[in-house]
Structure 1
Amino acid sequence: MDVYNSQKYYSLIKRRYITHSQSLSSDAWRAAASSFQDAVKDLPRSPKSDAEYAQWFQFFEKHGTHYVKEVGYGGTMRMSAFVSSEVRSSKVIRQSSWGFFLGAMFNKKIGADVRYNESHTQQQMDEFASYTSDVVFHAVGGDQTQSNYQDWLRTVKGKPAPVRTLLGSVEDFIPESIEFKQILEMYFSRCPGTDSLGVCNGYGLCDFSNGSCECQVQGAYKEKDGRCYPVCRGNCSGNGICSLGKCSCFVDRVYNIGYTTVPGKEPCTTACGSHAFDAGSGRVWCRAGASRTNSDCEVLAYTKHEKTSPTCWCQEVLKHHHGVDIVGESDLPDDQQGTGHDTFDCVGDKACKVDIWPWSTCPAYQVIRCHHGAADCPADAPHEDFPRKGVVPTSILANGTKPEEVVV
């Protein structure tokens, strides 16, 4: 499995248990209906002009378009996990089975039965689990310290939480003689919005005279699509941009190195990804950031199991990734080869001198692996490409041919 260039997918599994629901009582429903009918009694029943529609738009701005019809109380158990995209290369796990194995992982976690069959075996389950990481499990409602589903279920009735909300249209309270559907459609179409969030996404007011959103609500801003969105928390920690109200973290599309957001942490603060820089057969890496004259190359000295030089090299090449998060390494036998060049450490001090070529050689790096955090960057997370500030890595033939820039 290629641990250096793989990606991950975010998955969520949950079980919800409803103990009871609450809705408007008959008296409360009649009172609400009476109030709404009083509010619309003087409004045009079949508006035609902009002025008549404006009266209804003012009504919606004051009273809204929907109300909470029912709330379900109980609890929810949730499990989130990252699945490496390398699972796609498995010869025994079909993509259509991912859902079963995620559900099986969830059932094992909560102490429920897992029923395997010829299409979904224990062996396949074990292999699928090897592709998962960062598994997080938590509950809402009930005794949240209980991880066994049946034990937790017995506590939900005593500690229920609101876990389901059903909305109803205020049309429920409006006389049938009013062409309410037509009026509501005109209201929703006048300003930009979405089906799920409504006019101006619920974060601004509609200027009905101009058909545009005013995003003056504190904590909201206007996007290029004309809709209002919530300002991203912490400006995405400086490691991403706010797009459509969500943080798109910076991820280098070439090297798959950047930042991601994980539950419970500030957005775009978790470093992710890694990349293996291979100069190619018979080539070695030059010291990054060195000032060169006439295409000279200061070859980076290799020291087995020593990380200072490769880390320094990686931080120069990947400056746009906040260098303190970058760690370089090279600890495999095929990562280095002898070269007929003098070699230098990361700061430019000579580390090895070739006395007589080819009888004496200095070891140098062919492969340097740069790590940015402990996990891969999720493939399905929203991300933006990094603004490039790093140094293009330069390599040279081990026998002495002039260096060339290589992007790998």
Structure 2
Amino acid sequence: MTDYGVRQELEWNALTDDEFRDIVREEFEANYPDEIRYPSRRLYWREQSAWFQRMSEKGWIAPNWPARYGGMGLAPSKLLIFFEEQERWGIARFQDQGVRMIGPALFEHGTEDQQRRFLPGILSCEHRYCQGYSEPGSGSDLSSLRTTARRDGDEYVVNGSKIWTTMAHDVTHMMLLARTGADGRRQAGISFFIVELSTPGITVRPITDIAGHQELCEVFLEDVRIPIRDRVGEENHGWEVANTVLRSERIHIGSPQLPAYGLESLGNVATACGLWDDRAFRAKYAELLLDLEHLKDIYGEFAQAFVEGRPIGPDVSLLKIWSTDLIQRIAEVIRESAGPAGAVVGRIQTDDRETIDILDVFYKALPSTIYGGSNEIQRNIISKRVLALPT
């Protein structure tokens, strides 16, 4: 197998978890810029590029990838430690769909030519990706998408639109699902493409969200030409590739990172409001903490399967449901615990002269049960494909 990226400086999995945590913590604390810790919105590439290019040069940009593809090849416990330390130190997430989604899809479905052309750009951060799945009227029911790709010689001509495309205005490439066939089940006529957003015929328009940020976009495709060699998998078999991406996405959406951040924020609110002596509050906090610890346990099992290259089954939907339901419950307890300050937008000063953004977790939690396939859809997947319940 071809090697990619930077050779790892150590055999990470030969270290104890404590030794690995110390190395990661030292790197993050010594070098991550203070001015972009704990951002309340997704940062643009220009705001964080220096840090992630540093991570790329160290070979730390893809902790979840096997080492043979240029990743850190971390065992589940160390992968969780890596994410925990990122969260603890307030490290912003960059537009990492290439690392989290495209890489795993290419490992499983890509040709050697595609791996050689696309993996290095992901590892160097030269190529950054968004996800061209959802459409107006075709979100969680993804198989109803209407964007078409018509074969024309050695190219496909694509027409249609995508929506809720995260940070499409700040990346270079898009993973795209388009309909190439009309026979049989709806899933059978879909193909998976990688397309550069600088390709003629693509228009990207940002959408302003409830918090006043522009993280989501509409993407319009008009007679966009994509070479056949940029189709991943066989024609009309993109649904299999998409499911690989979605399984990987649900592992990451279902990670303990966001709930852990939310619980830390709840602790800060409790300190600012003097709630630690309140037995009712402590009971709520303990319940949320136990749910987070259980999530970490089950996440570790799926992460181990991913790192070892074992198939991820439909039961991975459990992670997405658990994590997003938990962060929403945490967000509500934060607002409730803050009293009148729970309705204040922006950062406010506490009695100990610290500042805190009460609604930060709420804004992050609010859409979480919808994106990545709504939790209703995830429950349907579990009922049909895991529990085999009658429809």
Q: Which of the two has higher C-alpha Rg? A: 1
Determine which structure has the larger strand proportion and give its number.
1
Determine which structure has the larger helix proportion and give its number.
2
Smaller-chain TM-score bracket: under 0.3
Higher relative contact order (CA 8 A, sep 6+): 1
TM-score when normalising by structure 2: 0.25
TM-score when normalising by structure 1: 0.25
